[in-house]
Structure 1
């Protein structure tokens, strides 16, 4: 038995599949942001003991992201090479708000008084210019511990070239202060660029005690309920045992959204579609990603709460437009949506949990797209009139009717999501019209067709149980871990064996770490890639290295020029090319999975009800998704309901059901 539990900002979703891929149970409960494990255990306790017995729990969560945003983590000290105490304060010259005269740089996780210097120095090749002084290390550790730090980050100059000095500091820390949490930059991000490597390491130290405690508590609760193993989704779209995740908390920063992408890939693969755009609209935000030929785009250039993080993650663009996003009118008289959210508590006004400020969900209820008798499968009361009254003051300020204002909110939200998709596709040289949109999350299918129309896309896939797609994604993901090492060299200057020595070194490091964590490697695949650039560029491009290309400079150059031309429309074969970083992805096959289907019942009733569409009131067909058999079609305007999400089919579109019970939306 496999149980997938994904914790979002508003809801926690739970799905149970047996070993034959048969859907045994689903649930959706309100999240508990202050104690996220409570929602998980609440959902698990609702399952029968038979379903829990010796099951594998697969988990995705926003706990790491929330801890960082709320600055609710360990008290971290930092050890650096003498003379580099201000690396976190200086940061970079770029700024996120170029024309903001009151702009302030993001505050470092480590205050300056908790940064300690030690005597040592390497050059960029790893050669020792000044040996590590053990006494200076002991003094630095003693001062930091005396001042009350819970964890220590270590980021020495050029330690990516030789980690020996950092490793020695870890040994001394364990000897002097047993149990002290120590994060090494050579383990977290063995790459050059001092500021980015240091912030990544401080974030690791900041999160590690919190994540370790969270996963330990969750694992203990799961075992009490009869569950056997706990595995955790990583930001790169792969699954690892809880023990491995606790030792690498950075990998959980985008855990939940990555699960949704993994599920969308499985759905698209099953439907015979290779290239998709995913759109996950939850209660707090909408996350979009691009998948080419069944593989998600990955990135190592991620910012979390304004701080750079250099670990591989699924390249997800988030926009603050979710079902719970707050709606307002600004000082200029313009309607605004998000980025602030009503969250799970109090939530939208129509939930009746004490919310007073209107949200996107309230607007959809006022439009007539959500029916009280079927909302969340009829298990939760929908207060449409309360939502209408919450929107009324905004409508009066805009001099519009409440219904017109609700439709404006819907359109503005859809346009914001379309803008996020443009950033991930059109602005990177991809023709979005040639992709299929896969929409999921509780609110995604409500906006999917409108977003697709805004972008010129003609096809949308809504998977079965779309509101639980991220939880399903947890069940589809295989094992994946990433390793990297900076290796700065002109391609023309590579030795005859090319990148093979550094590839062998990375492979050995990966084997040692994974075997120590109890990960079986008999069926593992080791895939290499390189970050490359033209000489003089300040950024790199990711180039896959097919098996056996580590010795061929010609293949390295050919691969880089091809990637550059695809992204920017040109390549300069006469310019010198550099290898900057070599990367290794260790993967294991994902478990066999039969994707869930919709349980069809064509005897279910069909209703009509008025909705607001394009400024007028029209009669729309309302029907259960279970009432649509394979091959059935439904023209818009229509609303197709299930227990976890609602799909809106606008006028000019039609929906039909494929052989896998996916709901396909296409233009008429």
Structure 2
């Protein structure tokens, strides 16, 4: 079976082909086409197939990680969206909650106010009210009001509508009826409901999640439909699968209905790819470290399990989000990050990026700002004549010119300014990792850092040294690890129901009935996607808290029928999880089951362990020596550094840094006072020594 993984990044689009029967593996990189990412996707697939004599008609699956939804939100370039809600609640998506991101700042930006997803003039209210605890109807839906609201929105040129009513997570009847009316009045509009996107309590977050779906829905739907058709027109009859934020993939139809599934699409694929690489070298406590052209993405894996976000911290561009997502922290730090002196005279790097166009000055496309890539080239850590396997030449003189301009501003020598760019960037990334580890009671020194992306292997060892992390793993194809991650996952769907049941008065029949109903709902979806029931596995999780608390912990629930013994096990697991998270537990206090989640996982074809690399010798791998600059003992020093061709390095033979290792999709830097070795899986393992 032949599969292709395609990950669209800010600068490059990465592709990997795998024949799961023969083990053939091929990779490719092309520049991203920001005006229409599908152009880069199709061009990359065509070139990959031509270069490796692959018949496009034999490709069974195309797995795709997309940034379309993410970029729409980050750039605030979504659809003209409308919202229909209950009378008196027009401004719920503006007011938000009493809590703020920065508790004591009166000048902080609140994105839902400064750049609302739905402008106030497009927020309409109608009569009708449901009430807890069962969602009974207190006031009938004003259907004529819904029709008038739809007509007004249509006249204003609104492209999409989110329908958000109070307590619809208990009873979606009013939202479903309103949706039918709006679709009749606005047949060309994208229409969604909060009970479909996120059927759980917390109305501000639920309404905002639905508004996000409306904001990005038309663009995502058009992109997916266009890509699916273009692939077919190119002779690829295989099925398209889209990476979702929950760590699984989804069908184009599901993504078109729930575009918020893709808000961390490509980032999730990177974490999966990092986990796969870690498993191959026998490491299960990992920090994934994905640096591309515009951002650095960080994920945590403990004992092979991915960290997931919770209701307190799930957000995109500052907007709260109620969706299952892997816990991935992103900062504006990448190869294209621009170095500058701010108005206060401080030396900064990022988050602004030169992107794919014009890109760093080194790319020769008109870039005139100093970037991280330019700094690496000035210090000799990139080879101007062997970038992307020699398919792209870098302009070293342009890099020296822009870094020289920065150095003049700072009053520093050229190399000091270039090394300063890297030190600031590395410190920013180390601080980001601390926020996900040290600040949560996790000691990063017990983890391995998996460094990938186009720039991850350039910076991984120095970032690890700042954190005391003992080793860095560089995957066999680091620049396309996110694309590889796409080939390691399964089809995954989630559903949720709010319970609000307390431990001393649990309606077990209702709990079991809801679990079975949710599983049946997902089973119908898998059947529609032609996934055999035997290939589907199920997971249950409860959101639990002590009565009176404001936020929950995720606790695994037993499969099958839950009885008294099963409940006792659930309470005990919650006490232990609470003690682990907060340092204490209240074992005499009642526990509340807030939500119950069911996940269905449909098995997909996956990558298997690759064959051991053929290897060679250090002499055969050595291309030349080159002057490279590193900071050692607080002083910048130039080292005559061997430059190796990765494919010819020996297997399981340790060698000392400094060294530069070249391959098509990335460059690996092995600094002084470290050692490196190629593992039998093909990964490079860099072991850190004393670099104080």
TM over 0.5: yes
Q: Is the 8 A contact 2:501 2:507 kept in 1?
A: no
Residue 585, structure 1, aligned to residue 585, structure 2: no
Matches of 1:311 and 1:21, distance apart in 2: 38
Matches of 2:585 and 2:468, distance apart in 1: 29
Question: Post-superposition shift, 1:512?
Answer: 3.4
Q: State the match for 1:74 in structure 2.
A: 79
Match of 2:173 among 160, 164, 167: 164
- SS of the equivalent of 1:298 reads coil
Residue 351, structure 1, aligned to residue 338, structure 2: no
Matches of 2:443 and 2:510, distance apart in 1: 35
Q: State the match for 1:665 in structure 2.
A: 686
Pair 1:101–1:496, CA change in 2 (3 A): closer
- SS of the equivalent of 1:499 reads helix
Matches of 1:644 and 1:447, distance apart in 2: 15
- SS of the equivalent of 1:158 reads coil
Match of 1:381 among 393, 401, 404: 393
**What TM-score, normalized by structure 2, do the two folds share?**
0.93
Give RMSD over aligned pairs: 1.8
Residue 477, structure 1, aligned to residue 459, structure 2: no
Residue 557, structure 1, aligned to residue 571, structure 2: yes
Pair 1:409–1:85, CA change in 2 (3 A): same
Question: Post-superposition shift, 1:599?
Answer: 5.7
Describe the superposition over 1:144-172 as per-residue Cα deviations: whole angstroms up to 9, x where unpaired.
22222222111100111111111122233
Match of 1:515 among 510, 524, 527: 527
Q: State the match for 1:51 in structure 2.
A: 55
Matches of 1:200 and 1:561, distance apart in 2: 31
Q: State the match for 1:307 in structure 2.
A: 319
Between 165-174 and 180-189, the greater mean CA deviation after superposition: 165-174
Matches of 1:382 and 1:660, distance apart in 2: 31
- SS of the equivalent of 1:317 reads strand
Pair 1:601–1:373, CA change in 2 (3 A): farther
Pair 1:345–1:176, CA change in 2 (3 A): closer
Q: State the match for 2:627 in structure 1.
A: 610
Question: Post-superposition shift, 1:624?
Answer: 1.1
Describe the superposition over 1:449-493 as per-residue Cα deviations: whole angstroms up to 9, x where unpaired.
111111111011111011111111111111111111221122222
Question: Post-superposition shift, 1:51?
Answer: 3.4
Runs of 4+ in 1 over 6 A off after TM superposition: none
Question: Post-superposition shift, 1:601?
Answer: 4.8
Pair 1:110–1:417, CA change in 2 (3 A): same
Between 297-306 and 557-566, the greater mean CA deviation after superposition: 297-306
Describe the superposition over 1:498-539 as per-residue Cα deviations: whole angstroms up to 9, x where unpaired.
721221222232233443455543321111101111222221
**What TM-score, normalized by structure 1, do the two folds share?**
0.96
Q: State the match for 1:65 in structure 2.
A: 70
Q: Is the 8 A contact 2:10 2:356 kept in 1?
A: yes
Where does the alignment leave 5 or more consecutive residues of structure 2 unmatched? none
Describe the superposition over 1:380-403 as per-residue Cα deviations: whole angstroms up to 9, x where unpaired.
111122111101122123222110
Q: Is the 8 A contact 1:153 1:182 kept in 2?
A: yes
Q: State the match for 2:95 in structure 1.
A: 90
Question: Post-superposition shift, 1:97?
Answer: 4.5
Match of 2:122 among 114, 117, 126: 114
Describe the superposition over 1:36-66 as per-residue Cα deviations: whole angstroms up to 9, x where unpaired.
1111111122123733113121111111111
Q: State the match for 1:4 in structure 2.
A: 5
Matches of 1:80 and 1:174, distance apart in 2: 16
Q: Is the 8 A contact 1:363 1:387 kept in 2?
A: yes
Q: Is the 8 A contact 1:498 1:550 kept in 2?
A: no
Residue 650, structure 1, aligned to residue 671, structure 2: yes
Where does the alignment leave 5 or more consecutive residues of structure 1 unmatched? none
Q: Is the 8 A contact 2:201 2:498 kept in 1?
A: yes
Q: State the match for 2:200 in structure 1.
A: 191
- SS of the equivalent of 2:196 reads helix
